[in-house]
Structure 1
Amino acid sequence: MAEFTASVFQNEFLSDGATDVHAIVTVTVAGAGQAGQGQGMAAGEIIIVDTSGSMTGENLGAAKHAASVAIDQILDGTWFAVISGTDTAARAFPYPNARLPMVQMEPGARAAAKQAIASFQPSGGTAMGTWLTLARELFQATPQATQRHAILLTDGKNEHESAQALSQAIYNATGVFQCDARGVGSRWQVDELRQIATALLGTVDLIAKPADMAADFESIIKQSMGRGVAAAELRVWAPQGSEVLFVRQVAPTVEDLTTRKTMVNPLTGSYPTGSWGDESRDYHVAVRVASKPVGSEQLAARVQLTVRDEVVASGLVKARWSNDDALTARIDPAVAHYTGQTELASAIQDGLAAKAAGDAATATVKLGRAVQLAAATGNDEATAKLRKVVEIDDANEGTVRLRRDVAKLDEMALDTASTKTTRVRK
């Protein structure tokens, strides 16, 4: 039986006239169990492999091996399928003449799927929207698979369909399944895969070397199979007359959930969080309330995690007005930390975009700010990746110089890691 807890970290004291309340809400799940093992639940898994012409050689060989390793990690009883992606999408397994769109994993199906993967041949172009569309259709044709996850691998850009077609396919898949996206080598575009992963509540990352692909696939599927809580929502209630400014996941990665809100009732918004394993996630909730006289107290928000509309964890965000500067001037360490981490992600992405556009001045300022924020928040991983893109003269001041002849893979590694955060010690 899964156990859920929620903890709130904030400075609840506001100065006279202040209206904005910030809090970090930590939600932890323990004993989640395995995917598809709950009552009335079944899991579904789809492996999507780029088999376009650009995958010829080492990349496709490694992808075949990685997909087979992933197949070994899928639990028996899980509904699954394999998609071969080019400028069209094809269901490689179950075979095209199969009666069912997806089949349940068992030893015979596992062996047959590996055989199908081994027959992959490179050809054609890249149209990832068609891949996502087929995955959505397979999942929707298998309603018994209520917990749905896919992994998508590519080595190239989405060159054989329009950006609008990809965006529409992502939009149509949103809420149908989660998807982790991976790019191998340096010819794919981070923003394309980030668009997919962000909308589909997954992760995006770089596989720099084909030889690293199998370990990454194994880790992703193990994590997927370890998510025994099929889907949860974060619900935020705020009092009448107030405004929820934003809701962001800030650990283990930065994901802005604000625009994904659906209304439960006039005072409560719901934000999707996807499936959960044994893990902890941090959320930054900001609410604007009407100012009250000094000495007043108010409940500014109630934050709840719900599973199938049942509240499983809850935390309260409070507001107290004071004229004591010693109380109101304090910034809660967790709020300060994650505010910096969110700005760090934006600074890295904006800096790299400016650099790619040839705007060296803006790139230097933005990446300098990123260095400063990484140092201030103790994000050593970000600092190490930034050092490969800029020369750091003074980390505390954010004084940097752009490096010449930066390896494309180093820029991509920095970009994909930009949203990964370090946890604050509360």
Structure 2
Amino acid sequence: MTSGDMNTRTTATGTAPGLCFTIETDVAGDLAHDAQRADALVTVRAEPVEGGTTDVPLAEVLVMDCSLSMADAGKIGAARQAVCAAVDALPDNTYFGVVAGTHVARNVFPPLPERGLAVAGRETRQAAKHRITALWAEGGTAIGRWLAHTADLLESAPAQAVRHVSLYTDGRNEHETPEELERALAVCADRFVCDARGLGDDWSYTELLHITQALHGSARAVDAGSLTDDLTTLVRQAQRLVVPRVYLGLRLDSRFRLASLRQIRPVEADLTGRQQRAGDLLHIPLGAWGAAHRQYRLSLRFAAPTLPVGEELRAAHIELLAETSTGERARCADARAMVVRRHTNRDPLPARPEELTRVENAHELGLAMRGCANAHERGDLLEAHQELRHALALAQDLDDGARVRLLESVAIRDEHGVVLLRPDVTRGEMQRVGLESTYRAALPTGPAEPVDALPHPRPVSGGEDAESGTGVGAS
């Protein structure tokens, strides 16, 4: 850091049962004279405690779409097989249930919801699979009702349990209103983590993202052949969650207000609206945690005239809290200060932290990918082509190989070398582009390798020669 440079990085460490948390802040502390916003990157790393043990119980509910459209292309058979495999993947003593979703929600196992969740063992797994294999496709799709029913079922789990839901759907949420879904999500918020999967071509990526971003989960596209592997992977990943609820704590100087908090790795989600007042702190839920690296972009707003020129100010204290077995929130990483300084209108400003600039460019890439998917959905091919070209250029500039490959897989070049969407691109492929727009590469675990030059744009081919891409892995 050069003399007078307020761009700072600070790190603090602490523990919660089973995990050691590290919180790192990268602050763009040099503010222009007329600036009205201050930004910071907050990186949270959780590593297993060496020799540590945890006895946090797991509660898992598998939610099956059994609507009539599942009868097509053998999807219901593939789903029965996948959910049975997921049940087999549950460790002994896991609390679990299976819910069938149509235009209503009903318990598959245990058959009587008032008795709560079952406990995984040889006999209960066999009984659950027996009932799963008897399911058939009928009715409509009302995902909010499935989630609300699941929330009630999970109430029977021990208070300290990690609660996780694995859900798939092959269709759009056509049998309840958006307001009904919104009410259900409000009821479910911070009660469990939900990972959702879109099966086939007819689901809506915007609905899945809305659900998983509200419930701290991930959304991905799958086909019938990969559903078994995907669901069993989700169940195994849920077994690594050991802290049911973690919160980012913010104590703001009176001149600053929270403008936004957005998770940016491994998957984007706007967390701004979830803030909870806790005395003089704001608590923002970050979901359940196992060993993981996540990154957030924090923005504060202020009125420029309220900040004295040239004076270092602690705009915010940033800390991390974990919910204990008694329901209290205890600090699990020491507070870090977000220090800023307002410059005169004559001062040259140091460059912003490079990673903040990359984050902003990656966000723009996601917007372009969603713009492409949305334009294709409404039949506006001219805009879809433009957004595709913009997204591909951004992905190449960011050296984001996974998203370059994904975008190339839906693209061709015309006789003039202009990049266009393939004429035969499917709706399912474009829904995948929309979903993958929210994913970013995992944080590096060591020093970054130097990059001598950005890669040359890759040639884009079409048809059977197009390189397939599935996007960046989440987790």
Please report the TM-score for the alignment, with normalisation by the length of structure 1.
0.90
- CA positional deviation for 1:19: 4.2
Quote the residue 1:47 is aligned against: 62
Tell me whether 1:194 sits opposite 2:209 in the alignment.
Answer: yes
Q: What secondary structure sits across from 1:229 in the alignment?
A: coil
The secondary structure found in structure 1 opposite 2:115 is coil
Aligned pair partner of 1:386 in 403, 407, 411: 407
2:291 paired with 1:278 = yes
Tell me, yes or no, if the aligned pair for 1:79 and 1:145 is still in contact at 8 Å.
no
SS in structure 2 opposite 1:148? strand
| Aligned partners of 1:15 and 1:325 also within 8 Å | no
1:48–1:13 Cα change, 3 Å: same
Q: Alpha-carbon deviations, 1:220-265, whole Å to 9, x = none? A: 1111110111110111222011122111111111111111111123
Question: How far does the alpha carbon of each residue in 1:8-53 deviate from its partner, in whole angstroms, 9 at most, with x for none?
Answer: 12332233443422111110101179xxx846x4321100111222
Query: Is the 1:24–1:335 contact (alpha carbons within 8 Å) kept by the matching residues of 2?
Result: yes
Q: Does structure 1 conserve the Cα–Cα contact (< 8 Å) formed by 2:388 and 2:420?
A: no
The alignment status of 1:418 with 2:437, answered yes or no, reads yes
How far, CA to CA, are the matches of 1:141 and 1:271 in structure 2?
26
Q: CA deviation at 1:330?
A: 0.4
Relative to 1, partners in 2 of residues 1:345 and 1:311: Cα closer, same or farther, differing over 3 Å?
same
Three-state SS of the structure 2 residue aligned to 1:170 is helix
1:254-403 aligned at under 5 Å gives the runs 254-266=268-280, 268-289=281-302, 291=304, 292-308=307-323, 309-313=329-333, 314-322=335-343, 328-391=349-412, 400-403=419-422
Residue 288 of structure 1 deviates from its aligned partner by: 2.7
One-letter amino acid of the structure 1 residue matched with residue 359 of structure 2 = Y
Instruction: Using the TM superposition, give the Cα deviation of residue 110 of structure 1 relative to its aligned residue in structure 2, in angstroms.
Output: 1.6
2:261 to 247, 251, 259: 247
SS in 2 for 1:281: strand
Contact residue 289 and residue 300 of structure 1 kept, 8 A: no
Identify which range, 410-419 or 378-387, moves more after superposition: 378-387
Q: Aligned partners of 2:179 and 2:250: how far apart in 1?
A: 32
Per-residue Cα deviation, 1:76-128 (whole angstroms, up to 9, x for no partner): 222110111222211111123x7622122122212211222122222222222
TM-score where L is the length of structure 2: 0.81
Task: Provide the rounded CA distance (Å) in 1 between the counterparts of 2:159 and 2:302.
Answer: 44
User: Contact 2:88 / 2:125 at 8 angstroms: preserved in 1?
Assistant: yes
In structure 2, the residue matched to 1:81 is 97
Q: 1:104 matched to which residue of 2?
A: 119
- Residue 41 of structure 2 aligns with which residue? 24
* Structure 2 counterpart of 1:248, one-letter code: R
Kindly provide the amino acid, as one letter, of the partner of residue 242 in structure 1.
F
Question: What is the aligned partner in structure 1 of residue 471 from structure 2?
Answer: none
Could you tell me whether the CA contact under 8 Å between 1:334 and 1:424 is conserved in 2?
no
Flag structure 2 segments of 5+ consecutive residues without an equivalent: 1-17, 324-328, 449-475
The aligned counterpart of 1:6 is: 23
- Structure 1 residues 4 and 327, CA gap change in structure 2 (3 angstroms): farther
Could you tell me how far apart the structure 1 residues matched to 2:49 and 2:383 are? Answer: 46
- Relative to structure 1, the CA distance from residue 231 to residue 120 in structure 2 (aligned partners, 3 Å threshold; closer, same or farther) is same
Show structure 1 runs of 5+ residues with no match: 394-398
Q: Which residue of 2 aligns with 1:152?
A: 167
Percent identity at matched positions?
28
Aligned counterpart, 1:396: none
- For residues 162-196 of structure 1, give each alpha carbon's deviation from its aligned partner in whole angstroms, at most 9, with x where no partner exists: 33323322222222222111111112121222221
Give the aligned partner of residue 115 of structure 1.
Answer: 130
Specify the code of the residue in structure 2 equivalent to 1:216: D
Partner of 2:473: none
Give the alignment's Cα RMSD to 1 decimal.
2.5
Larger relative contact order (CA 8 Å, sep ≥ 6) = 1
How far apart, CA to CA, are the structure 2 residues paired with 1:340 and 1:297?
28
Structure 1 CA distance for aligned equivalents of residues 229 and 218 of structure 2: 16
Aligned length: 415
Between 360-369 and 169-178, report the one with greater CA deviation.
360-369
Q: How far does residue 129 in structure 1 lie from its aligned partner after superposition?
A: 2.3
Give the counterpart of 2:140 among 119, 125, 144: 125
2:241 and 2:380 mapped to 1: Cα distance? 43
Among 150, 174, 177, which residue is 1:135 paired with? 150
Give the Å deviation of 1:293: 4.4
Note the alpha carbon deviations across 1:308-332, whole angstroms, 9 max, x for none.
Answer: 2111123332213456999724021
State how far apart, in whole Å, the 2-side matches of 1:115 and 1:358 are. 45
Code of the aligned partner of 1:422: A
Counterpart Cα distance in 2 of 1:295 and 1:325: 12
**Matching residue's letter, 1:222:** R
Paired position in structure 1 for 2:9: none
Contact 2:319–2:336, Cα closer than 8 Å, also in 1: yes
